[in-house]
Amino acid sequence: MGGPRWRLVALGIVIGVLAGGGIAWAVTSSGSGSHSAKSFALRGSLRLVGGATASGPTSEDCTGYGGYDDIVPGAAVTVYDANGSVVATGLLGTGRPKSPTDNSVCSFPVTVPGVPSGSRFYSVEITHRGKVTVSAADAQAGKFAATLG
C-alpha cells in the first residue's frame, strides 16, 4: 500500500510544479509583449551649422569636420526616458547640404526605432554632444529637431 500513496504524492508535486511554472510563464510573457506593441520610431533631424563640408563621390552629401568630425552618417543616437535610462539606440542618417552651392549647413535625418511609449518626455543624445529634451507628443509625431554649431 505504500507504493500507490507515494505515486499520488509524486503526481501532486509534479502537477504543482507544472502549474506554478505555467503561472510564472504567463506573468512574464504578458509583461514582455506589451512593450513591443507600444513603441514608436523617433524621427527628426540634426542641423549642423558651420563645421560641415561636402563629402561623397558627387559632393551631394555632407559631414562634419574639424571639431565636428564625429557628426557623420552612422554616428550613435541614444534615447533616454524621463528617468534617465537608455531606452533605444539608432544611427544618424546621411547628411544633405542646405543647397548645392552652400554646404556649410548640413541636415542629418535622425531615426531611432523601438522607442517604448509611456515616458513623459525623452532626451536624445547624438554622439557625445549632450542631451536635447523633446516632449513625448513631439517625439511620437516625428518632430525631434536639434541644431549644432
Percent of the chain residues past pLDDT 70, beyond the cut = 72
Q: Which pLDDT does position 101 carry in this prediction?
A: 74
Please say whether the beta carbons of 35 and 116 come within 8 A: yes
Higher-confidence residue: 10 or 148? Answer: 148
Report the C-alpha gap between 138 and 149 in whole angstroms. 23
Report the C-alpha gap between 31 and 113 in whole angstroms. 20
Q: Which pLDDT does position 44 carry in this prediction?
A: 97
pLDDT tens-place string over residues 76-101: 999 999 999 999 999 999 999 887 77
Q: Which pLDDT does position 104 carry in this prediction?
A: 81
- In CATH terms, 38-148 corresponds, of 2.30.29, 3.90.1070, 2.60.40, 3.30.1360, to 2.60.40
Q: Which pLDDT does position 61 carry in this prediction?
A: 87
- The model's pTM is 0.72
